[in-house]
């Protein structure tokens, strides 16, 4: 069964070309709408970026695509609200879009639970203050972070310039032997093209922001997808049932 159309609200510009790349691999329609704000990895700016008005505008931009589900493609702009706040954010987005909705932070939790992952290492591009909020978010969902690294990169635009070799180095140097999976939580980072390379280098599951965001959208839309090029999370064909 061909995957349904899933819409993504993406902040500013950085690694949005991961979405057409994944769409080609999956033979799916994954349109992206952009909203804009300060791309600084700082708490006040992130709270503004994920605000109801901005996400409502994103939903309006996607309306002509008639998506079966919509996902806020921003990790820090969702976990910064905390677990309950992120759920409320997704519910408000769903109401605005008229379809099921989620966010990248919620997608990380759903993906980890789907794979039975409970202990993870996190290789974050953010400053430490922001990265620690992601650790708290995961802990609320019963996911233990056994190792956290913070690259301290201040803006999403800078993260988007990281080369495949730099992304691989980030992953390899920040894994932990006790982790069942490595999480790389920034949609501004290009990761779709290197997923299989990262998993081969680490010998374990790697979950990245754009990867889990796309998986979550398909899951909510009730679509089906399998693509080994997109890592363990997409290694088997499942029918994703909207929750």
In DSSP notation, 118-169 reads -EEEEEE-S-HHHHHHHHHHHHHTT-EEEEEEE----BHHHHTT--HHHHHH
- On the question of pLDDT at 188 being above 50, the answer is yes
CA–CA distance, 137 with 66 (Å, rounded to integer):
31
> What long-range pairs does 57-65 form, CB within 8 A, spacing at least 24?
58/9, 58/33, 58/34, 59/9, 59/93, 59/96, 59/97, 59/101, 60/96, 61/9, 61/33, 61/34, 61/35, 62/7, 62/8, 62/9, 62/31, 62/33, 62/97, 63/97, 65/5, 65/7, 65/29, 65/31
Backbone angles phi, psi at 49, to 5 degrees: -60, -35
**Distance separating the N- and C-terminal Cα atoms of the chain:** 19
- pLDDT confidence tier of residue 29, bands split at 50, 70 and 90: very high
What is the DSSP pairing of strand 181-184 with strand 119-124?
A: parallel
215 against 227, higher pLDDT: 215
Q: 62-109 pLDDT, tens per residue?
A: 999 999 999 999 999 999 999 999 999 999 999 999 999 999 999 999
Percent over 70 (pLDDT), the chain: 95
Which candidate, 156, 229, 236, 162, places its Cα nearest to that of 198?
229
Q: 128-160 pLDDT, tens per residue?
A: 999 999 999 999 999 999 999 988 888 888 898
- pLDDT at position 186, please? 94
- pLDDT at position 243, please? 31
- On the question of pLDDT at 238 being above 80, the answer is no
Measured from the Cβ of residue 63, the count of other Cβ atoms closer than 10 Å reads 15
Residue 205, class by beta-carbon neighbours within 10 Å (0-12 exposed, 13-18 middle, 19+ buried)?
buried
pTM for the full model? 0.94
Structural domains in the chain plus CATH codes: 6-107+210-239 (3.40.50.12500), 116-207 (3.40.50.12500)
Lowest average pLDDT, out of 130-134, 218-222, 225-229, goes to: 225-229
Strand, coil or helix: what is 26? helix
Average pLDDT over residues 173-185: 97
- pLDDT confidence tier of residue 44, bands split at 50, 70 and 90: confident
- Radius of gyration for the alpha carbons in the chain, expressed in angstroms and rounded: 16
Q: Does the CA dihedral 140-157-214-145 come out positive or negative?
A: negative
Residue-averaged pLDDT of the chain: 92
């Amino acid at each position: 069964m061909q995957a349904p159309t899933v819409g993504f609200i993406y902040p500013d510009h950085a690694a949005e070309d991961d979405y057409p790349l994944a769409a080609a691999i999956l033979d799916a329609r994954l349109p992206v709408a952009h909203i804009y704000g300060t791309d600084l990895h700082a708490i006040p700016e992130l709270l503004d970026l994920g605000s109801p008005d901005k996400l409502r505008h994103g939903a309006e931009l996607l309306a002509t695509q008639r998506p079966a589900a919509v996902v806020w493609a921003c990790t820090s702009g969702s976990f910064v609200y905390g677990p309950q706040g992120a759920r409320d954010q997704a519910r408000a987005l769903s109401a605005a879009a008229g379809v099921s909705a989620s966010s990248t932070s919620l997608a990380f939790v759903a993906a980890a639970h789907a794979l039975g992952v409970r202990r993870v290492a996190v290789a974050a591009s953010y400053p430490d203050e922001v990265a620690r909020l992601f650790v708290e978010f995961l802990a609320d969902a019963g996911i233990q972070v056994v190792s956290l690294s913070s690259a301290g990169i201040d803006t999403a635009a800078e993260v988007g310039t990281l080369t495949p070799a730099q992304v691989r180095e980030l992953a390899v140097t920040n894994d932990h032997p006790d982790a069942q999976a490595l999480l790389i939580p920034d949609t501004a980072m290009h990761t779709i093209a290197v997923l299989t390379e990262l998993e081969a280098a680490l010998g374990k599951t790697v979950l990245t922001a754009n990867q889990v965001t796309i998986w979550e959208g398909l899951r909510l839309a009730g679509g089906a997808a399998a693509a080994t090029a997109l890592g363990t999370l997409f290694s088997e064909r499942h029918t994703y049932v909207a929750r």
